[in-house]
Amino acid sequence: MKLKDSTIHQIVISSLVVIVVTTVSVLLYIGYNYYSIPLEERPFHALNQTFKASGLVGHGLGIVGSLLILFGVFSYMLRKRLRIFSRIGILKHWLEFHIFLCTLGPFLILFHTTFKFGGIVAVSFWSMVAVFLSGILGRYIYLQIPRSIEGQELTLLELEDQKIEMNKQLRQTVTLDESIYELIGNFPDKSKGQTSFFGRSKEERVALKKLRVELKSQRIPIKRAKEIVQLFKSQLGLKKRIERLVTMQKLFAYWHVAHLPFALIMLIVMIIHVVVAVTFGYKWIF
């Protein structure tokens, strides 16, 4: 049996989440006794030589975490900005992989620091935390901006075209009283009430109830009636997306102003930290 693309996508996303959760859980399980004791007692702990920042595991976590972040940042940046990479995968999937790498990477670096922060490294760490937290906010804003299946941002005109196509599709598939077509096709334009980002407005709920009454009075089959109601709900959802488009575009622009500087500070200090560590002979397995 062939799996649908959406099913495969959900499996991949779930697997990435499992990788992050499992990695963090294993590190906590193995090193909890070491990480939980006071700093002055750690040099005498059996795991110190392995889990300290310069130890085999600790140092490795820092290197792998840094590489994950660097690859996550620059691969997504290249895919998004250079036309030569525009046909490699869907941008939405690249963003999801970017989020995965830039979530797992900071967790590994957190364990690399052994939860001890100080000096210039603290600047990089807290910048990384700011990037991580702002990334969560940015992901929410990103999801509110209507996009195509390839992940490209839709314009207001494209959204209006979608609405027209919905109405055309409805008229081609079922014959209804003109009043129902008017209700479905024109409600978003005639609505004077304010819609909510969460849930439906009173006006929308009244319109849905009116539509169901109309369908019942015309003795539309239950299955067909459900399809029509679902189409109307899709219209309402499209209306919300149109209303949010400009607002979210502005918020996303402001978000970049906050997100990018923290990312640059994190990367610059990270590079300085690596150069200093190598200069003083802190090498890993090579």
Tens of pLDDT, residue by residue over 63-84, are 999 899 889 888 888 888 777 8
- Which amino acid belongs to residue 158? E
The 10 Å Cβ neighbour count of residue 98 is: 21
Q: Nearest to residue 285, comparing CAs of 30, 64, 9?
A: 64
The pLDDT score that the predictor gives to residue 190 is: 44
Q: Residues 254, 148: one domain?
A: yes
Query: Does 36 map to a domain?
Result: no
- 20 pLDDT band, cuts 50/70/90, is very high
Q: Residues 69, 182: one domain?
A: no
Distance of CA 75 to the CA centre of its chain: 16
Query: Does 284 map to a domain?
Result: no
Query: Does 24 map to a domain?
Result: no
- pLDDT, one tens digit per residue, over 196-216 is 444 556 666 777 777 777 777
Range of 79's domain? 50-153+248-279
Q: Residues 120, 256: one domain?
A: yes
The pLDDT score that the predictor gives to residue 64 is: 93
Q: Residues 181, 229: one domain?
A: yes
Q: Residues 59, 70: one domain?
A: yes
3-class SS of residue 155? coil
Query: Does 45 map to a domain?
Result: no
- 23 pLDDT band, cuts 50/70/90, is very high
Q: Residues 86, 176: one domain?
A: no
Q: How far apart are the C-alpha atoms of 254 and 265, rounded to whole Å?
A: 18
Query: Does 160 map to a domain?
Result: yes
Query: Does 112 map to a domain?
Result: yes
Per the listing, tokens 């970049």 go with 256
Q: Residues 148, 58: one domain?
A: yes
Query: Does 33 map to a domain?
Result: no
Query: Does 39 map to a domain?
Result: no
Q: How many domains does the chain have?
A: 2
**What is the per-residue DSSP string for 7-46?**
HHHHHHHHHHHHHHHHHHHHHHHHHHHHHTS-GGGGGGST
Q: Residues 209, 274: one domain?
A: no
Q: Residues 240, 211: one domain?
A: yes
